[in-house]
Amino acid sequence: MNLSTLPIYCLLTLFIVCGQSSSYAAENNASSIDCNKANTAAAKSAPINWHVKVHNTYPHRSNAFTQGLIYHQEKLFESTGHYGQSSISQIHINTGEVIQHRALDKTVFGEGITIWNNELIQLTWKSGQVYRYSLSDFSLQKTQNIQGEGWGMTHNGQSLITSNGSAQLSFRDPQSLAKQSTLNVSYLGRPLKNLNELEWVNGCILANIWQSQYIAIIEPSNGQTTGLIDLQRIIAHEQKTGTSEVANGIAWHAENQRLLITGKYWQRIYEIELIQKPASK
């Protein structure tokens, strides 16, 4: 078998099935995500495969085509897509109640969001438009433009980081949105495409891989994928409803040091801890 000829998702599956033990008896509770440690990427010969432990679930609007998710100061924010259905919302995490909501014009397709200072910033898919809203009341402060498609967005405290569905991430000036640099993301030496919703967690970039069951953990200094979070069990549970689509939506619950994840038309948001699956002997 020539691995170089296989699609990237076949390689992901081969690594997880063939390179890891199928037993759960020796699972290690190692839920921390930290790319701030020295030589993180260099110390790993292959990405770590992470499974998840669900600690809690919260209601999610099953009509929400989720494009971005943020948990900020005990408040949950979500952006949704589709022409004529795109929006931003603030939601009560425990009840699912919509606290405030703003619909986008039917001609634009909403995408990822991030919070910078007191603004919520939202990408759009093909229009190139970027909206900056007041976080307090969602009033539109400014409309800006970028070249190319907008998919996911986060920030590292210095730059905004955006994806466009390729294997390349862009670092941008938080005010002007001018591109400062790019980062080519790889998995086992090959470009990792379809990077979608983004979240910055303890010095790492997390990215939903569109149309897959994985979240990539990316080292921002070199673009290497140092880990894969496998959401297969959660996705299977959600898809029993018959309406849920792909996983999309990552938020960091800093108080609990856990991730909040959901997906398009999902009925729940999952608060998860990462469990490292042991390597086979």
> In three state form, how does the secondary structure of the chain look?
CCHHHCCHHHHHHHHHHHHECCCCCCCEECCCCCCCCCCCCCCCCCCEEEEEEEEEEEECCCCCCEEEEEEECCEEEEEECCCCCCEEEEECCCCCCEEEEEECCCCCCEEEEEEECCEEEEEECCCCEEEEEECCCCCEEEEEECCCCCCCEEECCCCEEEECCCCEEEEECCCCCCEEEEEECEECCEECCCEEEEEEECCEEEEEECCCCEEEEECCCCCEEEEEEECHHHHHHHHHHCCCCCEEEEEEECCCCEEEEEECCCCEEEEEEEEECCECC
Kindly report the CA angle at 105 between 99 and 111, in degrees rounded to 5? 70
Annotated domain spans of the chain: 3-276
User: What is the model's pLDDT at position 47?
Assistant: 83
Instruction: Spell out the per-residue pLDDT of the chain, length 281, in tens.
Output: 233 333 444 444 333 332 332 222 223 344 567 676 544 444 455 888 898 999 999 999 999 999 999 999 889 999 999 999 999 999 999 999 999 999 999 999 999 999 999 999 999 999 999 999 999 999 999 999 999 999 999 999 999 999 999 999 999 999 999 999 999 999 999 999 999 999 999 999 999 999 999 999 999 999 999 999 999 999 998 888 767 789 999 999 988 889 999 999 999 999 999 988 665 54
Rounded Cα gap, residues 120 and 76, in angstroms: 12
User: What is the model's pLDDT at position 240?
Assistant: 83
Is the whole model's pTM more than 0.75, yes or no?
yes
Closest CA to 153 of 59, 225, 259, 77: 77
User: What is the model's pLDDT at position 281?
Assistant: 44
User: What is the model's pLDDT at position 14?
Assistant: 32
User: What is the model's pLDDT at position 63?
Assistant: 92
Tokens read off for 30? 């190692």
Domain 3-276, classified CATH 3.90.79.10, yes or no: no
User: What is the model's pLDDT at position 6?
Assistant: 36
